[in-house]
């Protein structure tokens, strides 16, 4: 196989054979195909797409590029959940303990923050001492003991995705359905759970900006999951506004704990319950309504919060910050962003809000950047809210006062005001399962 011919074939809109796709993945992982040729192929895929068979081959080749976890030594059905990435999206921290408290095991491998979006592993590491680098035996033990464990991706899980994702990040080839679907599903399939719920974000803070493209991505991923024998469904949820109020690592853990105490913001609480209910439904706990009630009941009796505490303890984290979130180390400085005029918030460029939080130190500018765990934003006013001149739109938190100027500017640029009242977007748009698409 000549890589030049493979690139030219896709550039000219033709279908790649299985041999060519497997050859590309093998050659890229072993280093015989250089970044510049891989980049060219990614761009050709970005423009010309792939058919179902090509996407299946790409996903399978990526999944087989490294280890595949066998979760069968853990008894019972294991469910997983994956978000395509958003701003203020701390649902995994809420959903996983809810599901575990309902008796379904969650053995989850999560990622770090990516671009303007946050990552569950970074958020959990804001808990002092919390270890996300458990080996397989420790990981299984924690799941057996507490019903739940969340760790970082193990060293050799889908190395093809690790290399390709980093390359896509710097070659403007992230927002492509075949590339996102194969990236996510190769990891989820390799991670071994029996059931997978995908949270496909849509809007200004998501990689897919329209509902139509999000549904298409969801259909592609659900097919890949079901073809591999895993019960899979996808929910299309809004990311045209940050989820909840808090953006930033320990700030998001604090909001997740509040939600598990029944005191979270309405949008976050509802979305978390709905995701958890769908995980429970796939695991055979009843229909969606029954599972919604079940999920609510473990918030009400605090057993979900208790599950989170048990996991934190089992992974060597300091439980006192979960018992009383005031024990989290606070940022040294805070700064209030105030409205320059009265009106209604018509739109929040959610990617911009995420970038503003990164500028405060909550995310990585480069692969080696160190995260400030206490940095971030607490939002006071969101899309649709009435604002008077001088009202606080948001409070910024950082350990370095000099960061506030640029972060404030970025945050303000991300808020569009209007004199007219504004209708909020729905929280949930659609559900995609093997039974088809259901729009809400
Ligand atoms: N999340 C992933 O893991 N991969 C993508 O391509 C996009 C979001």
Tell me the average confidence (pLDDT) per consecutive run of 10 residues in the chain, 440 residues long.
96 98 97 96 98 97 95 94 92 97 94 78 95 93 95 88 89 92 96 96 91 96 96 96 96 98 97 97 95 98 97 97 96 97 96 94 79 96 96 97 97 96 93 95
Which residues have CB under 6 Å of ligand 1?
84-85, 165, 174, 179-180, 183-184, 207
Atom of ligand 1 nearest to the CA of 168: 6
For a mutational test of ligand 1's pocket, the pick from 119, 174, 200, 354, i.e. the residue with the most ligand atoms closer than 8 A to its C-beta, is 174
167 alpha carbon to ligand 1 midpoint, in Å? Answer: 12
Atom of ligand 1 nearest to the CA of 184: 3
382 alpha carbon to ligand 1 midpoint, in Å? Answer: 27
Atom of ligand 1 nearest to the CA of 179: 6
Residue 423 burial by Cβ neighbours in a 10 Å radius (0-12, 13-18, 19+): exposed
Domains plus CATH for the chain? 3-63 (1.20.970.10), 79-323+434-439 (3.40.1030.10), 330-418 (3.90.1170.30)
Task: Give the model's pLDDT for residue 205.
Answer: 87
List residues with catalytic annotation. 82, 161, 168, 183, 187
177 alpha carbon to ligand 1 midpoint, in Å? Answer: 10
């Amino acid at each position: 196989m000549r890589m030049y011919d493979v690139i030219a074939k896709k550039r000219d809109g033709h279908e790649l054979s299985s041999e060519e796709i497997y050859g590309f993945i093998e050659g890229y992982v072993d280093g015989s195909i250089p970044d510049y040729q891989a980049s060219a192929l990614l761009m050709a895929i970005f423009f010309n797409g792939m058919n179902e068979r090509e996407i299946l081959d790409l996903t399978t080749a990526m999944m087989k590029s490294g280890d595949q976890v066998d979760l069968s030594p853990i008894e019972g059905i294991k469910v997983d959940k994956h978000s395509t990435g958003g701003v203020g999206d701390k649902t995994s921290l809420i959903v996983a303990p809810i599901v575990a408290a309902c008796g379904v095991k969650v053995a989850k491998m999560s990622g770090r923050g990516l671009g303007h979006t946050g990552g569950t592993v970074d958020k959990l590491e804001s808990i002092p001492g919390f270890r996300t680098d458990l080996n397989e035996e420790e990981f299984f033990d924690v799941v057996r003991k507490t019903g739940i464990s969340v760790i970082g991706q193990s060293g050799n899980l889908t190395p093809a995705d690790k290399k390709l994702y980093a390359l896509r990040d710097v070659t403007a080839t992230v927002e492509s359905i075949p590339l996102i679907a194969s990236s996510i599903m190769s990891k989820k399939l390799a991670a071994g759970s029996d059931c997978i719920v995908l949270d496909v974000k849509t809007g200004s803070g998501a990689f897919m900006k329209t509902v139509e493209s999000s549904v298409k991505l969801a259909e592609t991923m659900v097919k890949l999951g079901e073809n591999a024998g895993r019960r899979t469904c996808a929910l299309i949820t809004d990311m045209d506004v940050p989820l909840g109020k808090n953006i930033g690592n320990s700030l998001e853990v604090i909001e997740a704990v509040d939600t598990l105490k029944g005191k979270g913001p309405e949008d976050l609480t509802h979305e978390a319950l709905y995701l958890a209910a769908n995980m429970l439904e796939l695991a055979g706990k009843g229909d969606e309504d029954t599972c919604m009630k079940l999920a609510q009941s473990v918030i009400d009796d605090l057993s979900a919060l208790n599950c989170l505490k048990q996991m934190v303890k089992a992974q060597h984290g300091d439980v006192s910050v979960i018992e009383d979130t005031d024990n989290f180390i606070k940022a040294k400085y805070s700064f209030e962003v105030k409205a320059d005029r009265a009106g209604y918030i018509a739109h929040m460029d959610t990617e911009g809000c995420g970038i503003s939080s990164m500028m405060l130190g909550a995310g990585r500018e480069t692969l080696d950047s160190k995260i400030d765990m206490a940095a971030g934003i607490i939002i006071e006013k969101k899309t649709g809210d009435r604002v008077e001149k001088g009202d606080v739109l948001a409070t910024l938190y950082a350990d370095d006062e000099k960061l506030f100027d640029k972060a404030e500017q970025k945050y303000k640029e991300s808020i569009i005001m209007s004199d007219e009242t504004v209708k909020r977007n729905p929280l949930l748009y659609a559900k995609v399962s093997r039974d088809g698409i259901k729009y809400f």
